[in-house]
Amino acid sequence: MPEPTKKDETETQSAPPPPEQKTPQDGGTGKDKDEDDTSVSTPPADGMSKPAERKDSVWSIGEGAPEESGKRDDSQMSTLFIEKPQSGSVSVGGNITFIAKVEAKDLLRKPNVKWFKGKWMDLASKAGKHLQLKESFERHTKIHTFEMHIIKAKENYAGNYRCEVSYKDKFDSCSFDLEVTESSQAAQSIDIRSAFKRSGEGQEDAGELDFSGLLKRREIKQQEEEPEVDVWELLKNANPSEYEKIAFQYGITDLRGMLKRLKRMRREVKKSAAFAKGLDPAYQVDKGGKVRFMVELADPTVELKWYKNGQEIRPSAKYIFEHKGNQRILFINNCTMADDARYYVTAGDEKCSTELFVRDPPILVTKGLEDTSTYVGERVELSCEVSEENANVKWFRNGVELSDDPHSRYRIKVEGKKHTLIIEEAAKNDNATYSVMTTGGQSEAKLSVDLRPLKISLALEDQTVRLGQEIHLKCEISENVEGKWYKNGQLVEASDRVKLYHKGRIHRFVIASSAVDDEGEYMFVPDAYNINIPCKVHVVDPPKLHLDGLGENNTVTVVAGSKLRLEIPITGEPTPKVVWSRGDKGITDSGRIRAETYPDSSCLVIDAAEREDSGPFRITLKNEAGEDTALINIKVVDVPDPPQAPNVTEVGEDWCVMTWEPPANDGGSPILGYFIERKKKQSSRWMRLNFELIKETTFEPKKMIEGVAYEVRVFAVNAIGISKPSMPSKSFVPLAVTSPPTLLAVDGVTDTSVTMKWRPPDHIGAAGLDGYVVEYCFEGNGFSQGISTDLSEELLEPPFHVEADEWIVANPELTDKTKFTINGLPTGSKILVRVKAVNAAGESEPRYHPQPILVKEVIEPPKIRLPRHLKQTYTRRVGETVNLVIPFQGRPRAKVSWEKNGSPIDKNHINIRNTENDTIIFIRKAERCHSGEYDMKVEVENLVDKATIDIQIVDRPGPPEIVIIDDVWGENVNLSWKPPKDDGNAAITGYTIQKADKKSMEWFTVMEHYHRTSATINELIIGNEYYFRVFAENMCGLSEDATMTKESALIAKDGKVYKYPVYNDFDFTERPMFTQPLVNTFAVAGYNATLNCSVRGNPKPKITWLKNKVIIMNDPRYRMFSNQGVCTLEIRKPSPYDGGTYTCRAVNTLGEAEVECKLEVKVIYQGVINPGEPFFLAGNNQLHSKDF
């Protein structure tokens, strides 16, 4: 949508001209502005005509008829501005300042001031290196001064600006123009591709795209290379369906702006024959205001018609037509939002169109929310009233917006100006702060939901039930609330077996068929109440044996010679009697085979089990509820017998094949597998070859040494254990062959060399390993097809056909290392590499690298890894050693440079040592002159990374300048002094005061760590004469010297007439002073960050936070706290655009104070971290979002 434009005509506005007079069209400079030169204009808020000094322009937006300007209500006249910003002109690259002043005599607090460009653009968000907003307050004259500084103005800064000031229900506005001029020799052409690229594409104007500036013809800085293709001509001659393709081809991202520009260029070709002067592109008016449309006809006899959205406009009380010579004027009275539309006027076959924008006034909260307390389950209504009916109002709960969703617990009701938030049944979690927000205000209130007192109408009763019967627990409470059931302290959930019922105030717990496990203590706990209703349930159970843990057919297996302790769980109420028997013979509680009985189990114990103990054992349970019995089979097993001696049937280079027969007796348990061992014939040490059982009776031992005699043997294994070893086999001698090298990979690549690394062969023969041979061949020698794409694959066969004489030996002499560099390679070539292991038996099979290797050095972008403690000010005392190690990365040949305060470092005083991976700054004995900002820069070709370290060297302060005895009375002396000239490069933390009798001149400390510059010394001895001296103190300690009073203080004796001085009440007031400043901070994008400082002052100062000198107001991304003088600003989930300079301002009636710091937000882009700045490897410039 185009922005409103300024007319080309000029009028004198010091007095309204008579209706019959015509304002000259060609006065002033004698030339009209270009039709494409658009600028934003806004009507004065007070409805008055412009001041007399503005004689160079007439504003057509929202301006009433001149003769009616005096009819406005005097209450709408300017009551805040005492000096308004004036229009001005500046050359391209020049600076200009606009000033507005507001008198604060009748204001209780500082007014709110906003600067705008055009209709919508709030300049507070554009503050940066090209735009600065400042404000000050003169306490004596009580005048607020607001300044807007435009620095190094550009062409697109030209246009209409507006300054708005508001205080409670008062409002004032003033519009002014900025004209940016440049030499007439500048080219009028515009590069469409640079004009319609959005921010972030490498332009100098990145971050400040101005649609109104892009739509008007302006002069552009001469580009280093002119476009080879005239894109405008392509677009003019192209079919509209090809516009998007052309924009994509030539890098135009703002397609919408390009089409508007193209439409206007086509319209400029046609010159109107009916209209001498047409309508402006756009007009703006406040809701309820009056707007004036004017055209000038070339022929006054032509019939003229006005249209709104295609419908003809007829004269009425709302639409008034007026003729003045060739001028045709349309007035629209009492504009509403329905008048926001497109208008055009026709004269014959020609027409002229414009846009009208109607601005809706802000909605105010006339009656705010009230704090409410209620009980759970009650209906809650929170109501407020706004200034207009059916206004758009948003509700929030603890800062989160509430939606009027039909499924939501919250319902929003609107009755005219009254808006109500309804909660049908309040819950405990509805305790929150609820707020309502409109376009012009907000209100909030707290909702407190409490529980009603609970009474127990029917308590739970203890129950005793038989196994399988129903358990039914019932209780009744005074409130209809949910609750939870517990058994023995554990939460019970509803299931197919357990049924939980809740109807009104009655809660029931039902188990249709009880089990033994259901016995216990039950308890019902109502939700949200600290109360419980207990009862006990006892289940009667007949005796029962639990044999679930036994094997098939209740068989228990025990190893011969071991002890069996078989524990059988039993249940029954009362406790049953247990009897064990074997055949017809009962088992007693003593002997090798005995029975042991416990309340919940019974044990059968067999000491040193024998094979004769195998057989069935019977256990019988009896009690008054019934009887249970079972047979348990005991099986005694043993380890198997050893197998026969194995036979070696086949021998290889480092392996053999052996077979054997299973053992004759498996020990009563099936054979699970076998273990194999081997040893050298001359050795007595056997080595196990397998750690997992072998099922077969055949095995292939490997990894043996050729030329050495070996023997093997076998162990049989069953579930009981391992048998004794078999007899050894006959001795045999294996032979070994070296295998190929393993894990061949690229270790590094440069312009002329390739470094390969590998691991030794898996198998090395008895001849050992003499070394390796590295061979390579160039691309084009037959390996253009069939190359493997899996870099992790190891190849023993070449992936292509290469003749033997095409391989080049890289090392004529064998290398015993597993790493080798092939030098002298052509840059840009591709090679394939293979490696062979060599020993006395010859060369092994080659190991191939699966991919061709490109001979080209890899660039690693530079990155400084600044330690955490160096991101804040690094403080050291004078004389201490400064030794800082800063690691970094970057390949190849990273270049490191240092600067101190923008100048090169003097290496005679500061030592710098650089390595490939870090840099060290060393100061053997620090001096105060070494304090400052040290800038580190790491460069790799055209890639750069920077970091700054702030070093502060501190020393003890000097003594105070002068100590004066201000007054002496009674036993008291009042002293005052001035702070020292030299604070030791650190803040003064206090003073130490000492006194000395003139006779002895022995010094005694009176006060320590005293913060003020005046003090009263009490309890002095009458008749003595005293001298005083003061030491200054900072973080390093006391000053070496003290400043002593030049005169002494005599304490008068009794009887001497003393005239008491008259003292005024002590003034406790103090202008604001920051005791703890802000500290430069780094933050990570997406994680909350806080800024902290402390301030003191009396009266209590008002705290204001600013970002880039712009006040932070009503922004939900920021939270501000102030407690006991500690000020905190919390930034929620910052982004790179939240980086900048933050200022904390404290103001009271005595003055103001400010502290500021820098916040940098780190963002990770493809492994490279640059705080707040994207990084492009294609050579594009880095972009800064703070540019204006």
Tell me what percent of the residues of the chain surpass a pLDDT of 70: 81
**In angstroms, rounded to a whole number, what is the distance separating the alpha carbons of residues 793 and 589?**
70
* Confidence at 650, pLDDT banded by 50, 70, 90: confident
Radius of gyration of the chain (CA): 48
Listed range (293-297, 550-554, 647-651, 809-813) with the worst mean pLDDT: 550-554
* Confidence at 3, pLDDT banded by 50, 70, 90: very low
Q: How far is CA 164 from CA 43, 87, 135, 437, 1188, in A?
A: 11, 15, 14, 22, 21
pLDDT at 1177: 35
pLDDT at 781: 59
pLDDT at 183: 46
* Confidence at 1176, pLDDT banded by 50, 70, 90: very low
Averaged confidence pLDDT in the chain: 80
Quick one: 620 exposed, middle or buried, by C-beta within 10 A (0-12, 13-18, 19+)?
middle
> Does residue 759 carry a pLDDT above 90?
yes
> Does residue 189 carry a pLDDT above 60?
no
Half-sphere exposure of 937 (CA within 13 A, CB side): 14
Six token digits for residue 1143: 């200022």
Q: Which residues contact 381 (CB under 8 A, 6 or more apart)?
A: 420, 421, 422, 423
pLDDT at 800: 58
- Render pLDDT for 433-476 as a digit per residue (tens, 0 to 9): 999 988 778 899 999 988 888 888 899 999 888 888 899 999 99
Listed range (39-43, 628-632, 860-864, 1076-1080) with the worst mean pLDDT: 39-43
Six token digits for residue 442: 């907000």
pTM given for the model: 0.30
Helices and strands counted in the chain (H then E) = 5, 89
- Render pLDDT for 658-712 as a digit per residue (tens, 0 to 9): 999 999 888 888 899 999 999 998 899 999 999 899 999 999 998 888 778 899 9
Note the maximum CA span of the chain. 142
- Render pLDDT for 256-268 as a digit per residue (tens, 0 to 9): 666 765 665 555 4
- Render pLDDT for 467-488 as a digit per residue (tens, 0 to 9): 888 999 999 998 888 899 999 9
The residue written with tokens 């510059």 in the block is 1013
Q: What mean pLDDT do residues 711-730 have?
A: 91
* Confidence at 171, pLDDT banded by 50, 70, 90: confident
Listed range (349-358, 539-548, 1049-1058) with the worst mean pLDDT: 1049-1058
pLDDT at 600: 87
Quick one: 358 exposed, middle or buried, by C-beta within 10 A (0-12, 13-18, 19+)?
buried
**In angstroms, rounded to a whole number, what is the distance separating the alpha carbons of residues 334 and 321?**
15
pLDDT at 1184: 38
pLDDT at 221: 40
pLDDT at 248: 58
**In angstroms, rounded to a whole number, what is the distance separating the alpha carbons of residues 977 and 1014?**
6
pLDDT at 25: 37
**In angstroms, rounded to a whole number, what is the distance separating the alpha carbons of residues 179 and 181?**
6
Per 3-state DSSP, the chain is made up of helix, strand and coil in percentages (nearest 5) of 5, 45, 50
Q: What mean pLDDT do residues 343-362 have?
A: 84
Residue 535 vs residue 280, higher pLDDT? 535
Residues facing residue 568 across a β-bridge: 602
pLDDT at 1131: 93
Instruction: Characterize 1072-1104 residue by residue with b for buried, 16 or more Cβ atoms within 10 angstroms of its Cβ, and e for exposed.
Output: bebeeebebbbbebeeebebbbbbbbeeebebb
